[in-house]
Amino acid sequence: MFMKQGAEAKVSVCDFYGKPCIVKERFPKAYRHPSLDKTLTLRRIKAEVRAIMRCRLQGINVPALYFVDLERSCIYMEWVKNSRSVRDYIDKVQGQGDAMDSRLKQLATSIGHVLGRMHTHNIIHGDLTTSNMLLQGSLDEYKLWLIDFGLSDIEAAAEDKGVDLYVLERAILSSHPKTREFFEDILSAYRTANKGGADAVIDKLEEVRLRGRKRTMVG
């Protein structure tokens, strides 16, 4: 059953030996030479699989991999059922008055800790948004999952980690007004979880922010 299509792949749901399964299929890009397209697609699939496996080894909640079909450019993975995106969660919580601050702070702490652990092990997500994070459980007790590693990489450079955080910051501020403090709470938890590397990464984040502001002013 077809679910959605993005710029890089289409996503559908199927049954994989009795388990509900998400199938992510990368489709050919007509504007690229076929041999180049196949090479780049294969590289991206391998990077995505590598990042997911490394996250699981570190106890980070990501979908389990069931099967990788390189011929069809498909990844079969666990469907995180009964979950909602962090984006939907924030929208719901922001309408709840007094409960909002404590719930958002708790969520920010969870996100910061996960991202800190991820970057400690040099995993770059590449597309950190509140739509690519899922919560499974109630409003107050949940598991945080990371999904969609289609632009991921394994990279030790603080620059890449800073860009990862910048992408998330822009996504939060554009999708959720009045959440500047929420992102600062994420950074606070990130520092705790990535003690050895957080300072260098956040310094790079500031540099990336500055470049972004310059581009905005120039147009």
Q: What is the 3-state secondary structure (H, E, C) of 28-51?
A: CCCCCCHHHHHHHHHHHHHHHHHH
CB 201 within 8 A of CB 166: no
* Structure-block tokens of residue 38: 């196949």
Helices (H) and strands (E) in the chain, counts: 6, 10
Q: What is the pLDDT of residues 42-97, one digit of tens each?
A: 999 999 999 999 999 999 999 999 999 999 999 999 999 999 999 999 988 887 66
Instruction: Reply yes or no on whether 127 is catalytic.
Output: yes
Q: What is the pLDDT of residues 20-40, one digit of tens each?
A: 999 999 988 878 888 998 999
CA distance 91 to 48: 29
> Which position among 37, 69, 91, 127 bears the catalytic label?
127
Domains of the chain: 2-78 (3.30.200.20), 83-218 (1.10.510.10)
Q: What is the pLDDT of residues 126-141, one digit of tens each?
A: 999 999 999 999 878 8
In this prediction, what percent of the chain has a pLDDT beyond 70?
94
**Residue with more model confidence, 3 or 174:** 174
What's the pLDDT at 139? 78
The DSSP output letter for 63 is P
Count Cβ atoms below 10 Å from residue 161 Cβ, excluding itself.
29
Of 117, 208, 108, 114, nearest to 162 (Cα)?
208
Q: What is the torsional sign of CA 118, 184, 177, 209?
A: negative
What's the pLDDT at 98? 58
Helix (H) or strand (E) holding 87: helix 86-93
Rounded to an integer, the average pLDDT of 206-215 is 78
Q: What is the torsional sign of CA 144, 148, 151, 154?
A: positive
CB 37 within 8 A of CB 29: yes
3-state percent helix, strand, coil for the chain, nearest multiple of 5: 50, 20, 30
Q: How far is CA 24 from the centre of its chain?
A: 15
Residue 210: pLDDT above 70? yes
Nearest 5°: CA angle at 135, between 117 and 119? 15
CB 26 within 8 A of CB 18: no
